[in-house]
Structure 1
Amino acid sequence: MHYIPLIARVLLTAAFVMAGGAKLAGAEMMVGTFEAIGWGQWFRYVTGIIEVGAAAMLWVKSTRLLGALLLGATMVGAIIAHLLVLGPSAVPAAVLGLLTLVVIYFERRPAA
């Protein structure tokens, strides 16, 4: 059981550093995605900063829970965007959301 939250943090960090980095770098797909959402490119930058920053927060014990909560909230937004605007599948966002729940679950318990 000790390795489950560690594996979840590794997977989340990899996914969000890549996705957030692509947003910040202006990858064509990300620019198009945020154009389709209709909130402007500033929202792409904010989302990228949140993703990369929250992924880093997963590795500091005192910020781990907050980082997971930020990533979870971001994935709720991504699921809503996929269901209402982007289509076709919100499954990747849902999987990442579930991984954030794993981290939240293990972090909410007091250390023994």
Structure 2
Amino acid sequence: MDIVAIVLQCLLAFAFFFSGVSKIAGAKMQVDTFMHLGLPQWFRVATGFIALAGVVGLIIGFWNEGILATAALWLACIMLGAVLFHIRSKDPIAKIFPAAMLMILTLALAGLHFSALTDIM
């Protein structure tokens, strides 16, 4: 199970890194998405930095399991917000699916390290 968790951790770190950087850089797709969702562009940049903070937590998580579980929950909350904004905009399932899948994967990663999370609390 450790190998699955490490692979998932790496994949999520890459996904959120590139997503965060594209938000901060103002990639056309990100700008258009935030406009479609009715969100201000400063929120796009803030979301990018928040995602990168989660990536830092995932990287630190290679050495500290508690930070990993916390970062995974942090990123799951971001994705929950994304799912809710897509639902509010009445987007089709195809547009909601990527955010929902990332939310599920981050929750799975947090679940794999649940014991470390309970140790923190």
Distance in 2 of aligned mates of 1:98 and 1:38: 24
1:95 to 89, 92, 101: 101
**Residues 36 and 86, structure 1, Cα contact 8 Å, conserved in 2:** no
2:71 alignment counterpart: 67
- Structure 1 residue runs of 5 or longer lacking an equivalent are none
**Residues 82 and 90, structure 1, Cα contact 8 Å, conserved in 2:** yes
Aligned-pair Cα RMSD in Å: 1.4
Distance in 2 of aligned mates of 1:49 and 1:86: 26
TM-score, reference length from structure 1: 0.89
Asked if residue 31 in structure 1 is aligned to residue 35 in structure 2, the reply is no
Aligned residues: 110
Deviations 1:67-103 (A, max 9, x none): 1111000110111111221623211111111111121
Percent of aligned pairs sharing the same letter:
35
Deviations 1:32-86 (A, max 9, x none): 1112222311110111011111012112114212211110001101111112216
Runs (4+) of structure 1 exceeding 3 A deviation are none
Aligned residue type for 1:93: A
